[in-house]
Amino acid sequence: MKDTILFPVIYVIVFVSVLLVLCVFNIIHTVGVRASLLPVFSRDFVSILVPHAVSVMFLLALFFTNFFILIRLQRKPGIRFLSFIVITACCFILFLCGYSYIQSNVTQASPAAAATPAELAESQPARKLYNFRNGALYFEVRQGNRVQNIVVVNNSPATPDITRYTAGSLSVSRGSVVLNTEGPSADHFDFQPSEGTSSLFLADSVIAGLISNYQKLESILGQLYLTRRAEFYLFSLSLFFVILAAGFFMRLSRWALFNAFFYLFAVMLIFLFNNFIMYTVIPELKKIIGQSIILSIIPSIVLLILGVTFFLLDFLLLPQPGYGRKRFSV
C-alpha cells in the first residue's frame, strides 16, 4: 500500500527532473553552438529560451515520465490495480494543468490567428512567446504594428541564429507573419504558421519519421484544445490511458531491456496508428458521409478500445509480477 501512496509524489519528482534535463538539452541545442552570441545574452533571452524549451519539451517529458514510472510499477507495484489508476490520474491531471498553462502563456501562431494585420494586432500582445514553423518571436513593447525589444529565434537549417533587435514592425503576407527590423542590423523575417513544435534533429532517417509523427500528435492536441475542448479532453485521456496500459509489453518476458524496447516500439506504433486514422481514414470517411460528430471522436474511441484491450491482457491474462518472475525463471 505504501508504494501505491508514494506514486503521485514520485511521478511529480520524475516529471520535473525529466523536463529539466530536456529543457537544458533544448537550450544547449538552440544556443550552445553559437558562442559568438554569448556576450549579448541578457534577461530578455532567458525570458524567451526557457518558456520556449518548456513548451517544446513538455509533452515529450510526460511520455518519458510514463516510461520510467512503468518501470517502477513492475518492480514495486504496491496494490497494482490501484497503482495503475493513481498513475493514470496523475498523468492526466498534470497534462491538463501544464498544457493549459502553456497554451495560456505561450501562444502558438496559426493561419486563423494571423490572417490580417488587424487580427495580428489583436491576437499577438507583447511579452508572450510565439512559436512558428521556422522559429520563435518575442517582443517587450507593442504599439499597433510597431514592436520594440525584439528577440528572434531562427530555426532555419541553413542559417540558425538567435538575434536581438531594438525595434521593428509586423505585418501579414500570404498567411505568414512578417517582421521588418530597424537599425544598423536591419533584417527581414517571414514566420510561417506552425504545424508543431521545432524538432531536435534534422535528418532524413527513421528518427525524422518518428519526429514527424510526434509533431503531428502535438498538432492534433493543439488544434483540439483551441477548437473543440471536449474532444481534447476525451482524446488526451484516451491517449495517455493506452500509453500506460501498453505497459503490459514490459511484462512479456524476463529480459527487462527487451521489454523496455518492445514497449517503446509499441508506443511509436500507437502514434503511427493514431496519425493514420486522423490524417488518412477520417478524411476519406468525410468524403463519403460528410461532417459528423461521430467521425471526430472515432480516434479517441479507437485508442480507448485499444487501451482497454491492453489493460485486460495485463491484469487478467498475464500473471502478477511476483508469480511472473518465478514462471519465467524456469
Mean of the pLDDT values across residues 196-200?
36
Residue 221 pLDDT more than 70?
A: yes
Question: DSSP class of residue 193?
Answer: P
Dump pLDDT digits (tens) for 92-141: 999 999 888 888 766 544 433 434 444 444 456 666 667 666 677 777 77
Backbone angles phi, psi at 60, to 5 degrees: -65, -40
Residue 239 confidence (pLDDT): 93
Beginning with the edge strand found earlier in the chain, give each strand of the sheet holding 176-181 in spatial order. 106-108, 129-132, 135-143, 146-154, 161-173, 176-181, 188-191
Q: Which of 155-164, 179-188, 244-253 has the lowest mean pLDDT?
A: 155-164
Dump pLDDT digits (tens) for 130-146: 766 667 777 777 777 78
Torsion angle of alpha carbons 22, 23, 28, 30, nearest 10°?
110
Residue 36 confidence (pLDDT): 43
- Give the confidence band of 161 by pLDDT, cuts at 50, 70, 90: low
Residue 23 confidence (pLDDT): 87
Q: Percent helix, strand, coil in the chain (nearest 5)?
A: 65, 15, 20
Q: pLDDT averaged over the chain?
A: 75
Query: In sequence order, what are the beta bridge partners of 161?
Result: 154
Residue 43 pLDDT more than 50?
A: yes
Dump pLDDT digits (tens) for 264-308: 888 889 988 888 888 888 888 888 887 777 888 888 999 999 999
In sequence order, what E strands does the chain have? 106-108, 129-132, 135-143, 146-154, 161-173, 176-181, 188-191
Please report, rounded to a whole number, the percentage of residues in the chain having pLDDT higher than 70. 69
Q: How far apart are CA 134 and CA 293, in angstroms?
A: 34
Query: In sequence order, what are the beta bridge partners of 229?
Result: none
| Block residue for cell numbers 514592425 | 169
Q: How far apart are CA 291 and CA 297, in angstroms?
A: 12
Residue 29: count of CB within 10 angstroms of its CB: 15
HSE of 173 in the Cβ direction (CA atoms, 13 Å)? 9
